[in-house]
Amino acid sequence: MAGLAAQASLLATLPLREVHDHHAGDWASRWLGRGLDFEESRPYSAGDDIRDMDWRTTARTGRPHLKIYREERQPTVHLVIDRGATMRFGTRRRLKVAQAARVAALLAFAAAGRNGVIGATLWDAQDQEVPPRHGRLAALALIELSAAPCPPLADPASTEPLHHADRLATLEASLPRGAQLALISDFSWLTDAHEPLLARLAARFDVWAIQVVDAAERALPDLGLVRFHDMASGQRVWLDTGQASVRTACQSAWAHRLDAQAARLARAGVRHQRVDSETDDLVALLVHV
C-alpha cells in the first residue's frame, strides 16, 4: 500500500482537468459564478447582484454591465469498484478484483492529495455505499473496504441477475453534478441497453471507465483439455486448448468483444482505459486522469 501511496503522490502533481462539482475549493471550475478570477463582462439583467457591476465597461458603453468570475470548486471523486463474479478471476499476479482495489487506492490517495471529496460504491451481491468524505482518512477507509476479502459466490442459478441499469440510474440520481466518476470493472455486463444510461452519466459527470483484463482472456494458454466454469452464468464447457485453432478462435472472439465494449463506451462519451491485472506500475496507465 505504501507503494501505491508513492505512485499517488506522483499522480497528484499532474495537472487537473477542470472541476465541475459544487464544493468550494482551490481548483478552477468549468462553471461561472462568484470567485476570485475575472472571466468576462456581460450586460446587466434584472435581478443580478449590483455588487458585481463592471463600472468601467458600463461607463464606456453607456449600458450597465456585470463582472463574471470563474468559480473555484473542490473536486468530488466517486469510485465504483466492481466485485462481481467475473472480477474474481486471475491467472498471473493477482485477481482482477484485487487490481480494481489497487486502482481505487491509487485514485483515492491522489484525490486526498488534492483535498478532494472521496466517495465510493462497491458492486457486490449486496452493494455497499461509502459516504463522501475529505482527506487521507477517507481514502484509507475506502481502501480497507475495497481490499477486504470477497464473500463466497452463490450458485448463479439460485440468485437473481444483477441489474446494472438500476445501478447506473442510482449513480445519476445520487451524485452531485460535475463529479468525477470512475467505473472500475471488466465491463462483462456491458450491453447496448446500457449506452443511453452511460451517455446520461457522461452528460452530467466526468465519467472514466477503467477496464481490468487478464492475460488469459487476451490469449488462452495451451493447457490441454480444460473445463471452464462461468461463475456469472453457471455455464460449464470443455475446451481443448492444446489445439491452435481453438486458441485462435477464443482470442478472436475476445478481441471482438473488447472492441464492441470500447465502441459502446465511446458512443456514450465515456473515457476508456484498459489495465492488465498483473500490471504493477499504474501511474503510467492512469497519467491522464
Asked whether residue 40 is assigned to any structural domain, the reply reads: yes
Number of domains in the chain: 2
pLDDT of residue 154: 66
* Span 7-65, pLDDT tens digits: 555 555 444 444 444 444 444 444 444 545 566 788 988 878 788 888 888 999 999 98
Question: How many CB atoms sit inside 10 A of residue 90's CB?
Answer: 19
Residues 42, 166 within the same domain: no
Confidence of residue 71 (pLDDT cuts 50, 70, 90): low
Say which CATH number the domain at 277 has: 3.40.50.410
pLDDT of residue 37: 59
- Contacts for 33 with CB less than 8 Å, ≥ 6 apart: 69, 71
Asked whether residue 118 is assigned to any structural domain, the reply reads: yes
Range of the domain at 41: 23-73
Check whether 151 has a pLDDT greater than 60: yes
Mean pLDDT for the stretch of residues 132-145? 86
Residues 61, 81 within the same domain: no
* Beta carbons of 81 and 147 less than 8 angstroms apart: no
Q: Which residues of 151-177 are buried (b: 16+ CB within 10 A; e: fewer)?
A: eeeeeeeeeeebebeebbeebeeebbe
pLDDT of residue 236: 86
Report in angstroms the alpha-carbon separations of 145 from 27, 121, 181, 235, 252.
28, 10, 18, 30, 36
Residues 50, 82 within the same domain: no
Residues 282, 155 within the same domain: yes
pLDDT of residue 16: 41
Residue 20's identity, in one-letter code, is: H
